[in-house]
Structure 1
Amino acid sequence: MTAPAMVPAITFDEFWNWGAAAEMLPEILTAFVKVTLLVTVVGTVIATIVGLLLAVLTQATPRLVSGPVRWVMDVVRMTPLIVQLMFASFLVPVSWNLMWVGTVVIGLHYATYMAESFIAGIASVDKGQWEASRALSLPQGRTWRAVVLPQALRATLPSLGNWAISMFKDTPYLFAITVLEMVTVAQQAGDRTFRYNEAFTIAGLVFLVASLVTAFAVRRLEKALVY
């Protein structure tokens, strides 16, 4: 009876090579700054502005307007982001920059989620605030700008921060429209060197650090607005 063959142990050098990691790091960080971070920041601005507009339209307009707006929001939320990205890339002219097309699509996609957060924040405003505004004969526009929305924004800030982080983590879907964001660049670096552990570990750590920094900033901003 022969003894079972010994499986050789995997050494640390086989799992991780510092030289390969150092070689990949600048390329991955460049993709992070030029694409992933830029798309996230611009997409968050789009999502916040459009989301706030959608929330106000659903709460302050007649059902003839709010009903279709609600329907569009549901359609956008219930279809995958990657499908929306590909559909948009087929619709736009070939000369358009697909990174910016993807940024707008991601921003509009997350605008529907942020709109729900804004709607919840608007609903959290005490009814006495509305009654006081009517008692003071404030115009509806000023009531929204000066009374309702400032309180709603404070209430929804943590949720908006979470959506921004989710958007950041969804930027790898841009690979579907040939945009070279950070994860795709990491994969290409791994293809060249056959060192995928280093490539995807670096990309994952960048995601982790950026998400933690964003969460910390949102918490600080939340405390500043409350106090």
Structure 2
Amino acid sequence: MEWDWAFVWQIMPTLLQGLKITIIASVLGAIVAAIVGLVFAILRRSPVAVVSKTTGFVVEFIRGTPLLVQLYFIFYVLPDIGIRLPALVAGVIGLGLHYGTYAAEVYRSGIENVPRGQWEAAKAANLTTRQTWIHVILPQAIPPMIPALANYLIAMFKETPLLSAITVLELMNQAKSVANSSYRYIEPMTLVGIFFLVMSLISVVFLRWLEERFARRYN
């Protein structure tokens, strides 16, 4: 089957719409993962054993089960108990929770690398717990975390085709729809690969710039 440029331009608007959904899901999923990961990391440091151990179990359980299974559970099982979510919302929550557990380990590592003396200095300065985290600990812990968090962000972007399993009309789902209706697979699937490659490269460049910016700011 020969490459058909006319067909490419015909399907491009549909694929771009799918790409927009993919980017939205990735960005919102990353925000959820960043927040959830930080919450998990802080809770795992709780002096209350029940809180820390329960959080640890939840983190390991989510990390130990496939993302696809979690997406199916959120979108298809939760409605049985009265919780119905739009497909995109369910996808964002699934991505955010799944990668939030990985982000939690990155946060934990970064926080533990902050010298103990910094905690003691904050206590000696009569800073509250909130002030200690915001003004002392996180500014020192964040820069070393960025490369690892960036890798998980890119990995999340590449996992978005799984959202097609819960009817999200992201890039891969749109490409499959076009291919199945036209019986032409080479153009839509090739374009999907190109889109993912380009977006991944742009993400790498942006995150490297962000890493350098944080390094200059806090060093």
TM-score, with structure 2 as normaliser: 0.91
2: CA distance between counterparts of 1:214 and 1:69?
31
1: CA distance between counterparts of 2:148 and 2:31?
15
The one-letter code sitting in structure 2 at the alignment partner of 1:136 is: A
Structure 2 counterpart of 1:167, from 131, 148, 156:
156
Structure 2 counterpart of 1:29, from 6, 16, 22:
16
2: CA distance between counterparts of 1:202 and 1:226?
36
Alignment of 1:83-98 (within 5 A): 83-90=69-76, 91-92=78-79, 93=82, 96-98=85-87
2: CA distance between counterparts of 1:68 and 1:25?
47
The answer on 1:133 being equivalent to 2:122 is yes
Q: 1:192 to 1:94 in 2, by over 3 A?
A: farther
How far the C-alpha of 1:54 sits from its partner, in A, is 0.8
How far the C-alpha of 1:137 sits from its partner, in A, is 3.2
Extract structure 1 runs of 4+ deviating beyond 6 A. none
Structure 2 counterpart of 1:156, from 138, 142, 145:
145
Q: What is the aligned partner in structure 2 of residue 64 from structure 1?
A: 50
2: CA distance between counterparts of 1:166 and 1:118?
17
Alpha-carbon contact 1:52-1:114 (below 8 Å) kept: yes
TM-score, with structure 1 as normaliser: 0.88
Residues 48-73 of structure 1, C-alpha deviations (whole Å, 9 max, x = no match):
01111111111244222111001000
SS at match of 2:191: helix
Alpha-carbon contact 1:20-1:195 (below 8 Å) kept: no
Q: What is the aligned partner in structure 2 of residue 178 from structure 1?
A: 167
Q: What is the aligned partner in structure 2 of residue 3 from structure 1?
A: none
Alpha-carbon contact 1:190-1:199 (below 8 Å) kept: yes
Q: 1:55 to 1:63 in 2, by over 3 A?
A: same
The one-letter code sitting in structure 2 at the alignment partner of 1:20 is: F
Alignment of 1:67-86 (within 5 A): 67-86=53-72
Structure 1 counterpart of 2:178, from 162, 174, 189:
189
How far the C-alpha of 1:167 sits from its partner, in A, is 1.0
Alpha-carbon RMSD across the aligned residues, in angstroms, is 1.6
How far the C-alpha of 1:204 sits from its partner, in A, is 0.9
2: CA distance between counterparts of 1:99 and 1:136?
46
2: CA distance between counterparts of 1:138 and 1:99?
41
SS at match of 1:188: helix
Consecutive unaligned residues in structure 1, runs of 5 or more: 1-13
2: CA distance between counterparts of 1:193 and 1:24?
10
Consecutive unaligned residues in structure 2, runs of 5 or more: none
How far the C-alpha of 1:94 sits from its partner, in A, is 8.2
Structure with max Cα Rg: 1
